[in-house]
Amino acid sequence: MTRRASPLLLALAALLPTLLSAGAAFAHAQLRGAEPRAGAVVAQAPEAARLVFNEPVAPLQARWITSNGETHDVAARSEGDALVAPLPDAAGRGTIVLSWRVVSQDGHPVGGTLAFSIGAPSENVALSAALVHEPGGAARAAAVAKFLLVCALAFGVGGAFALAASPGAATNRARRLAIAACAGAAPAALALGAATALDLAGAPPGELLRARPWLLLVESPVFGTLFAGVLAAALAGLSLAGRETRLASAGALALAAFSFALSGHAATAEPRWLTAPAIALHAGAALFWIGALPVLGAAIALRAGEAPAALARFSMIATAPVAALFLTGAALAIVQLGDAAAIFATTYGMLLAAKIACAVAMLGLAGLNRWRLAPALAARAPGAARAASRSVAAEIALALAVVALASGFRLAPPPRALDPAAQPEAYIHLHGQRAMADIVLTPGRPGANALAATILDDAFAPLDPVEVAVLLALPERGIEAIEARLARGEDGAWRADGMVLPLPGAWSVRAEILIDDFTREILIGEILIGEVGAEEVGASP
Amino acid sequence: MNIFKTVKFAAASVALAIGAASGAQAHVTLETREAVVNTTYKAVLRVPHGCSGEATLRLRVRIPEGIVNVKPMPKAGWTLETVRAPLANPFMDHGREVTEGVVEIVWTGELLDEHYDEFVFRGRLTEALPVNETLYIPVVQECANGAERWIEVPAAGQTTRDLRYPAPGLKILPASGGHRH
């Protein structure tokens, strides 16, 4: 069982640092403003839209979606802190949407959507299926490729290190697995590179035949990660071939660990002197831990004469890495989350919590191995080998669960796919200490929405605030907050029309209610925007 | 790239959840951010910029419960008004009960966005203030194009850094070693 389960399990290590890396959005380019403004209605089509950021940016993509659903990619240019995206000739009239993506100085792409109208807003913005689905596809492919690459590094590089560190436990089966994993690293890295390139370019797979996505990849920090990862696998392969075994395998592990510190938010989050080494240490420890499991499992299963000694020895040498794994994990979680409450406030946080639970369970099994099973094995107690085999298999299964959680997190779809016909509007009730708000978006689907908010005090009595603003954002799709200042209607409801929500998904809602000049209540929640019905795509005037 | 997406999603969720939606760095702040309870405190409010480039035309300060005997310092070129109201918690001052006090200070004038200025008032921090906690002094900065309201108070688990428009905060320290006025 150990043998069968092992190839998949190796992904754990690399995903740990990835998952632990939250919170650093503050360091990225932020959109400061746009001309025309978001939601503006302009009489004449301008020559170009201008997006102003807080720091210099370079364009990655500028795609216009006109009111008839056509998409036009244009060549945007950067002017210092601004991105200038020329309008397509066929801009026409009605609401036009710019899907943009830029890369800031830290190498991370930031994307968003600007919608405004020429002449008058369209009734319904037809969004191309391409806009809705392409980025998701690339991200999904990248998640799978990342999973494979981490598997390869853990079983290959981590495995090679474990074999070198404990020659007594080395079996042919474990060695073959490690060699196969090393061989798989390069294809996995290539696949991850391709998916990353598409994600950076926001392009369909056909674009891989062109240079642009690849050039974007080479410029991005991910390239360094891929390069170091493949190099580490090659070095581990060398060690498995029997050359300079210890030195090569240690070098390979260090290099693989280092590759994780080269890209990603966690590695660049402040304080960097802490996060980058912590990531490397974390990744290295995880690679070793996971890589050692199949080696251990194979040794026990074959009842190699030295199995008890090997198990005891592994438990000993694993102590420091496992301690490092948990300490660095905790440190990174603190740096990144900043606040324990965030664990329960976000989907991300909850998945992180589940993953930590699995890792703790793995730790429990490791303890069982060390203090119960290893002595039993040494004493040649009946059934000890079987129990140890099972324990290692369970540890591998837990590692797989961790990897599954990590992968699932990346791809977490909107909570439910609602039937648009059954859900003509989106609704949320937000509750605070001094005020609450009932917010309705009509039709609650991608495109132009009317927003209405009823503001009540904490005892459900009508409240007459000074100002109400609502911010909607879809962070998982890289869409920055769209802000609406609501106007008070005669019926007492606060409204804003023409809020263009470009994509379906679970949008974050933030209602800022100014109760009096000096008191503001901020309410936060999530509102679900359903998919556009298939018949509506491209069917708009 | 997933790294970025994942991280961005998580980061943005956290950021949005805690309200750090924009990068407003230069806030209206107090020059002295700590003071001992039951002493007289000189508040210097620092105004580093206008509202999105517009000049500041009025600065309004809400005096929180627990600061009494408030006296704003006049500024050349600015008219100064105070709003007085009955106090929720009357207090004894030199044997005399004080039931009314300044609850709001209003300076009206003009401060260009490219200039910096400070606004000063003095008041006594009463014993009623909880020590080792932060007292927030909400400030509204009014310009021709609207207002920037430095009135946000962190909720449990948040810090000022999580807010877009944090109210200036003053940490109230316990009295130590008989240092009294």
Task: Count CB atoms within 10 A of the CB of residue A97.
Answer: 24
User: Residue A528 pLDDT > 80, yes or no?
Assistant: yes
A162 touches chain B (CB under 8 A): no
**Chain B residues whose beta carbon lies within 8 Å of the beta carbon of residue A345:** 13-14, 17
Mark yes or no for CB contact B149/A520 under 8 Å. yes
Where helices occur in A166-271 by DSSP H, the ranges are 172-201, 211-219, 221-240, 245-260, 265-268
Q: Which of A263, A476, A519 sits opposite B9 (nearest CB)?
A: A476
What's the pLDDT at A29? Answer: 61
The verdict on A19 touching B (C-beta cutoff 8 Å) is yes
Rounded to a whole number, what is the distance in Å from the CA of A406 to chain B's nearest CA? 10
* pLDDT above 50 (res B85): yes
Asked if B4 lies within 8 A of A109 by C-beta distance, the reply is yes
Position A218 confidence tier, pLDDT thresholds 50, 70, 90: confident
Question: Would you place residue A304 in the very low, low, confident or very high pLDDT band (cuts 50, 70, 90)?
Answer: low
Highest mean pLDDT, choosing among A154-158, A275-279, A403-407, A487-491: A154-158
Which pLDDT value is given to residue B22?
34
Of A28, A108, A475, the CB nearest to B16: A475
Chain A residues lying within 8 Å of B60, measured CB to CB = 517-518
Chain-chain contact of A517 with B15 (C-beta, under 8 angstroms): no
Tell me whether A355 touches chain B (CB under 8 Å).
no
Would you state the structure tokens that stand for residue A71, as one six-digit string?
């998409």
Residues of A in contact with B154 (CB under 8 A): none
Instruction: Reply yes or no on whether the pLDDT at A407 is more than 90.
Output: no
Q: How far is B10 from chain A (nearest CA, A)?
A: 5
Are A522 and B19 an interchain contact pair (Cβ–Cβ within 8 Å)? Answer: yes
The confidence score (pLDDT) of residue A244 equals 65
Over residues A200-210, mean pLDDT: 74
Mean of the pLDDT values across residues A475-481? Answer: 75
Beta-carbon separation of B7 and A266 below 8 A:
yes
Mean pLDDT over each residue of chain A, to the nearest integer: 75
Q: Do A18 and B2 touch (CB under 8 A)?
A: yes
Predicted pLDDT of residue A146: 79
CA distance A424 to A445: 8
Hunting for tokens 């359903």 — which residue is that? Answer: A530
The residue among A135 and A185 whose pLDDT is bigger is A185
A102 to chain B, closest Cα gap in Å: 13
Distance CA A34, CA A50 (A): 6
Please check the confidence at residue B7 and state whether its pLDDT lies above 60: no
> In whole angstroms, what is the distance from residue A265 CA to residue A403 CA?
19
CA distance A179 to chain B (A): 27
Structure tokens given for A364:
């429990």
Kindly identify which residue of chain B lies nearest to residue A408, measuring between CA atoms. B6
* Contact residues, chain B, for A349 at CB < 8 Å: 10, 14
Phi/psi of residue A460, nearest 5 degrees: 65, 15
Question: ∠ CA A182-A406-B6 to the nearest 5 degrees?
Answer: 105
Reading the block at residue A316, the tokens are: 């000993």
Confidence of residue A409 (pLDDT cuts 50, 70, 90): low
Of A248-252, A331-335, A485-489, least confident by mean pLDDT is A331-335
Q: Exposure of A383 by Cβ count < 10 A (0-12 exposed, 13-18 middle, 19+ buried)?
A: exposed
Do A510 and B16 lie within an 8 Å CB cutoff? Answer: yes
- Residues in B closer than 8 angstroms to A337, CB to CB, are 14
pLDDT band at A341 (very low <50, low <70, confident <90, very high): low
Residues of chain B found within 8 Å of residue A469, distances taken between Cβ atoms: none
- Nearest C-alpha neighbor of A482 from the set A449, A514, A517, A435: A449
pLDDT at A414 over 60: no
Instruction: Give residues 46 to 65 of A whose Cβ lies within 8 Å of B.
Output: 54
C-alpha distances out from residue A14 to A146, A153, A288, A368, Å: 8, 8, 11, 25
pLDDT band at A321 (very low <50, low <70, confident <90, very high): confident
Which residues 472-501 of A have a C-beta within 8 angstroms of B? 473, 475-476, 478, 481
Strands B139-143 and B56-62, by their bridges, are antiparallel
What one-character DSSP code corresponds to residue A110?
E
Most confident of A101-110, A505-514, B132-141: B132-141
Q: Kindly report the pTM of this predicted structure.
A: 0.47
Query: What residue type is A479 in one-letter code?
Result: I
Confidence at residue B136, expressed as pLDDT on a 0 to 100 scale? 95
In angstroms, what separates the C-alpha of B159 from chain A's closest C-alpha?
A: 9
Chain B interface mutation, best of A517, A521, A524, highest count of B Cβ atoms under 10 Å: A517
- Set of chain B residues whose Cβ sits within 8 Å of the Cβ of A108: 4, 8
Return the residue of B nearest to A263 by Cα. Answer: B3
Share of chain A above pLDDT 70, in %: 74
Instruction: Please tell me the predicted confidence (pLDDT) of residue A306.
Output: 62
Contact call for B1 and A138, based on CB within 8 A: yes
Task: Please tell me the predicted confidence (pLDDT) of residue A347.
Answer: 62
Taking only the tens place, the pLDDT of each residue in A224-275 is 889 999 999 999 988 888 766 788 888 999 999 888 887 655 555 567 777 7
Which residue type does B150 have? W
Q: Tens of pLDDT along A111-169?
A: 677 778 887 766 544 443 333 333 467 777 877 887 888 888 888 998 888 888 777 66
Please tell me if residue A142 touches chain B, with a CB cutoff of 8 Å: yes
Contact residues, chain B, for A348 at CB < 8 Å: 6, 9-10, 13-14
- Does residue B135 or residue A242 have the better pLDDT? B135
The answer to whether B122 and B73 are in contact (CB under 8 A) is yes
Residue A19 has pLDDT above 80, yes or no: no
The answer for A 199-238 residues in CB contact with B (under 8 A) is 199-200, 220, 222
Which residue from B minimizes the CA distance to A191? B1
Over range A377-394, report the average pLDDT. 80
Q: What is the pLDDT of residues B72-84, one digit of tens each?
A: 999 999 999 999 9
Q: Angle at the Cα of A400 (from A399 to A406), degrees rounded to 5?
A: 95
- For A523, the closest chain B residue by CA position comes to B17
Nearest chain A alpha carbon to B6: A410
Estimate to the nearest angstrom the gap between the alpha carbon of A161 and the chain centroid: 29
Mean pLDDT of B163-180: 82
Q: How far is B64 from chain A (nearest CA, A)?
A: 10
Top-confidence residue, B6 or A78: A78
For residues A5-19, give the mean pLDDT: 35
